[in-house]
A = this chain, B = another copy of it.
Amino acid sequence: MKKDGRVSAVSESMPSAARDQTMLRRANELTVLAVLRDGTSRVMREIADETGLSWRTANVVTESLEAHGWLASEADTNGKRLGRPARRYRFRADVGHVAGIDIAAHAISVFIADLAGTIVGRHQVSVSPGDAAADRLATAEATLRAALSTARLDGTGVWAAAVGSTGIIGPDGVVSKSAVLPGWTGVDPGARLAHLLRCPVSVTNDCNLAVLAERWHGHRADTMIYLLTGVRLGTGLVIGGQLHRGSAGAAGEIGEIREFGWHDAAERLAAAAPGPVSDLDRAAAQVFAAARDGDAGCLRAVEQFSTDVARGLTAMVLTIDPDLVVIGGGFAHAADLLLPRLRQRLAGTCPHTPRLEASELGDESVGLGAVRLALDTIDQRITALDSATPLTPAAISGTS
């Protein structure tokens, strides 16, 4: 050992430790990829500085990543140096793609994104809540084909896909309970779409994806509850920075306690609408508008709806004590009425009242959350790849 007693031992033993070397090599590759995936191009000196690697190690790793197709490079036109111009390296976000699919009651939406999360194709088709499961699946397939076409891709370019659906989704991706869509219980939407894509397709409760979207592009916290409001009430949880689905995918199903009134809260709100309306969403919008104008009956209905929502939300907040609650869904536009009322009710019972915010992602949240989950799947594949297997796009693409 050298005189500082620490540094030399490992390198002395390296020639007989090829396994240690490949593990270090992989760690260095992941470090360089992680820095460049923000989309900004960098010269080698910047890559070395930001990764904390030596210039020489950074150079070897970066050139190897370029050879495998993860990076592109060009001569640096900014520098005014003597001699050979430096090269700028950038992550090739289009080396692979993901699909995020939202199968909802009124519409099916598909987003196609590159590996940087930029949306490069999308398509949406209206459906009816009463559609049979087979028709809904056929429409989902057609919508996915159309979205791939807008992105000029066939299914082979998609490395991972995620589907959002109402209901409780088991760990196997099968809908184990759906109260909303006819014939939807027992359906496996991922299996139906996988053959189009030739990559794994995961299925997740829609509120779970909405909370991921919020954490990605909206309000974020390490522990947060997303509350879907509207004709249907539902929740999604992030705990300790991770999506929390629960042991059987049934986390956040607080609405199962009938006394909380979540199953008919929107109907009771809509019943206060001044005129005759056939559509719950439109009726609710009328009630919120009239409440803002001071209509006493509609204000009472808003108070009652807030009480209904707060009863379930209070139980969830007392259980996990989150940093943040985000209100999304169709009634998020009535946040001016709902947020102060929910905040007051939570403060009346909870030792600690979390921050309350209204989502600004609108009806794209489930589809965006599906994109985020699919991107996370790819990150997990990269991290989990055996260090003896070269880190190539083909090894990560997940296509069969």
Q: Chain A: residues with CB nearer than 8 A to chain B?
A: 5-7, 9-22, 24-25, 28, 52-57, 60-61, 64, 168, 176-177, 223, 237, 239-240, 242, 244-254, 256-257, 314-316, 318-323, 349-352, 354, 388, 390
Query: Contact at A321–B246, with CB atoms within 8 Å?
Result: yes
Query: Contact at B350–A250, with CB atoms within 8 Å?
Result: yes
Query: Contact at B246–A10, with CB atoms within 8 Å?
Result: no
Query: Contact at B319–A20, with CB atoms within 8 Å?
Result: no
Bound-state CA distance A21–B237 (Å) is: 40
Contact flag A319-B252 (CB < 8 Å), given A244-B239, A390-B6: yes
Bound-state CA distance A249–B54 (Å) is: 42
User: Chain B residues with Cβ under 8 A from A177's Cβ?
Assistant: 351
In the assembled complex, the CB of A55 is this many whole angstroms from the nearest CB of chain B, namely 8
User: Chain B residues with Cβ under 8 A from A315's Cβ?
Assistant: 254, 257, 315-316, 318-319
Contact flag A15-B22 (CB < 8 Å), given A322-B247, A350-B256, A351-B248: no
User: Chain B residues with Cβ under 8 A from A56's Cβ?
Assistant: 12-13, 16-17
User: Chain B residues with Cβ under 8 A from A252's Cβ?
Assistant: 318-319, 321
Bound-state CA distance A316–B61 (Å) is: 48
Query: Contact at B176–A244, with CB atoms within 8 Å?
Result: no
Closest to A353 in B: B248
User: Chain B residues with Cβ under 8 A from A240's Cβ?
Assistant: 239-240, 242, 244
Query: Contact at B20–A256, with CB atoms within 8 Å?
Result: no
User: Chain B residues with Cβ under 8 A from A249's Cβ?
Assistant: 321, 352
Partner of A247, one of B16, B318, B321: B321
Query: Contact at A9–B61, with CB atoms within 8 Å?
Result: yes
Contact flag A351-B168 (CB < 8 Å), given A10-B25, A60-B10: yes
Partner of A246, one of B16, B57, B64, B320: B320
Query: Contact at A25–B6, with CB atoms within 8 Å?
Result: yes
Query: Contact at B54–A251, with CB atoms within 8 Å?
Result: no
Closest to A235 in B: B319
| Nearest 8 Cβ contacts at the A-B interface | A246-B321, A248-B352, A315-B315, A17-B54, A13-B56, A251-B321, A9-B60, A13-B57
Bound-state CA distance A57–B247 (Å) is: 41
Partner of A18, one of B7, B17, B64, B316: B7
Contact flag A251-B319 (CB < 8 Å), given A10-B28, A57-B10, A244-B239: yes
For this complex, 15 residue pairs linking A to B, each with C-beta atoms less than 8 Å apart, are A9-B61, A10-B28, A12-B60, A13-B54, A13-B57, A19-B52, A176-B351, A246-B321, A246-B352, A250-B350, A251-B320, A251-B321, A253-B351, A256-B318, A315-B318
Partner of A24, one of B10, B55, B245, B251: B10
Closest to A63 in B: B9
Bound-state CA distance A55–B16 (Å) is: 9
Query: Contact at B57–A321, with CB atoms within 8 Å?
Result: no
Choose among A7, A12, A247, A253 the residue with the greatest number of B CB atoms under 10 Å from its CB: A247
